[in-house]
Amino acid sequence: MRRALAVVVALLAVAALGGCRLPWQCPLTDDARPSCGGVVLGVTTAQPSTEMLSAAEDFVGRPYDMVYRFHEIDDAFPTDEERGIVASGRLLHLSVDTRVEDSRDGLSWAAVAAGRHDAELSAQGRAIADLHSPVLVTYEHEMDQASKSALGTPEEFVAAWRHVHDVYTRAGATNVVWVWVASGTTPTLERASVMWPGNDVVDWISWDVYNAAGCRADRTSAERHVSFEESFSVFHDWLEREGPGLGIDVTKPKMLSETGSVVYPDDPSLTAQWYSEMPDVLRRHPDVVAVGLWDHVGIQSCDYRFTGVASLEGAMRGLARSDVFAELDVSF
């Protein structure tokens, strides 16, 4: 891990000499935290476009410093839009997923571990290396979801993760910060416990924090409201309690990859309250170094989009201006 961080620091020095201001405006510590403190604020937009990212930033009144994008394992990426994200000084988070929905032959964790996608993975690794800046990469986000059991066993996932890591590294992508992303819900904890790839191939630990409020059953209601802290604590407390026994280095930096609340049509102030509670929780957990807002739809009938919702503008602008988030200059 120290080798990867040394590369990241060197890349930052080169970028500074060239006049490009990258998201990390201060040296990284040995565990990949920005040494000047503060939480990096990011977003996932409903569509992966520059126009939608600009609209999202206009709505909250500031740039997002991290952007999350998703790809299938045989995609060619980074895309031009993603290169633009990096060129603008933002931190790019890429998820490389072996999709279940396609039901295509050969899509499995065992196939990945056996090298059947090495040509695509090697090309991805070379392209990421060519960005010459730190890039967060996740292989198979939410791997602990029950639906993903169709891709293979936990042991096969671990083998696939380690293989993807090795292929990227051989391709020169030593600028990657590897982020393990769990679902963060009570039903998935047992499965997550046997899907840790190893401290040597994971740099950050991440999970999702949602207030679904019954939306998955198409019965969104205030009675099913779950606060940000309640949802956050499910995985965080489990990790602190069980992680060491599972061989997980729980001192690694943490990230919330996807964070969002449904919008209550009859009481949008309750949604605003959910977001407003976030800074106080983050202040009590300085191990969390990045948060990504989910400005997107979810599964089934869940809708977490907030950009353009007039009743939430004040709350979202207040959240984005919170001093818990790092003040990062993404200009050249």
> Given this model, what pLDDT does residue 275 score?
97
Read off the pLDDT of residues 10-26 as tens digits, 9 standing for 90 and up.
Answer: 333 333 323 333 444 55
> Given this model, what pLDDT does residue 148 score?
94
> Given this model, what pLDDT does residue 9 score?
39
- How close are the terminal C-alpha atoms of the chain, in Å? 29
Number of domains making up the chain: 1
328 in a structural domain: no
> Given this model, what pLDDT does residue 324 score?
94
Residue with tokens 């993807």: 164
Which among 25, 11, 83 is positioned nearest to 50, based on CA atoms?
83
Give the pLDDT band of residue 328 (cuts 50, 70, 90).
Answer: low
Is the pLDDT score of 237 beyond 90? Answer: yes
Q: Is 79 helix (H, G, I), strand (E, B) or coil?
A: coil
Give the pLDDT band of residue 332 (cuts 50, 70, 90).
Answer: very low
The CB-based long-range contact list for 113-116 (8 Å cut-off, 24+ gap) reads: 113/156, 113/159, 113/160, 113/162, 113/163, 115/163
Read off the pLDDT of residues 56-75 as tens digits, 9 standing for 90 and up.
Answer: 999 999 999 999 999 999 99
- For 144, counting Cβ atoms within 10 Å of its Cβ (0-12 exposed, 13-18 middle, 19+ buried), the class is buried
Which residues form the catalytic set? 142, 258
Give the pLDDT band of residue 8 (cuts 50, 70, 90).
Answer: very low
Partners of residue 204 on adjacent β-strands: 179
Rounded to an integer, the average pLDDT of 228-253 is 97
> Given this model, what pLDDT does residue 27 score?
54
101 in a structural domain: yes
Read off the pLDDT of residues 189-228 as tens digits, 9 standing for 90 and up.
Answer: 999 999 999 999 999 999 999 998 767 666 767 778 899 9
43 in a structural domain: yes
327 in a structural domain: no
**Which tokens sit at 253?**
């930096």
> How many whole angstroms separate alpha carbon 210 and alpha carbon 265?
17
> Given this model, what pLDDT does residue 3 score?
41
> Given this model, what pLDDT does residue 20 score?
34
The amino acid sitting at 105 is D
332 in a structural domain: no
The domain that holds 306 is classified in CATH as 3.20.20.80
> Given this model, what pLDDT does residue 34 score?
63
Q: Who has greater pLDDT, 24 or 82?
A: 82
> Given this model, what pLDDT does residue 2 score?
41
State the pTM of this model: 0.89
Buried b / exposed e across 58-96, counting CB within 10 Å, b at 16+? ebbebbbbbbbbbbbbbeebbeebbeebbebbbbbbbbb
For residue 253, the number of C-alpha atoms closer than 13 Å in the C-beta half-sphere is 25
> Given this model, what pLDDT does residue 80 score?
97
φ, ψ (nearest 5 deg) of residue 93: -115, 120
**Which tokens sit at 259?**
């964070």
Buried b / exposed e across 32-57, counting CB within 10 Å, b at 16+? bbbeeebbbbbbbbbebeeebbeebb
Give the pLDDT band of residue 330 (cuts 50, 70, 90).
Answer: very low
Which among 25, 135, 4 is positioned nearest to 79, based on CA atoms?
135
> Given this model, what pLDDT does residue 28 score?
52
Give the pLDDT band of residue 317 (cuts 50, 70, 90).
Answer: very high
84 in a structural domain: yes
> Which domain range does residue 69 map to?
2-320
What contacts 117, CB < 8 A, 6 or more positions away? 73, 74, 111
> How many whole angstroms separate alpha carbon 80 and alpha carbon 21?
19
> Given this model, what pLDDT does residue 203 score?
94
Rounded to an integer, the average pLDDT of 49-53 is 96
329 in a structural domain: no
CA distances from 148 to 8, 206, 250 (A): 32, 18, 25
Is the pLDDT score of 162 beyond 80? Answer: yes
331 in a structural domain: no
CA-based diameter of the chain, in Å?
54
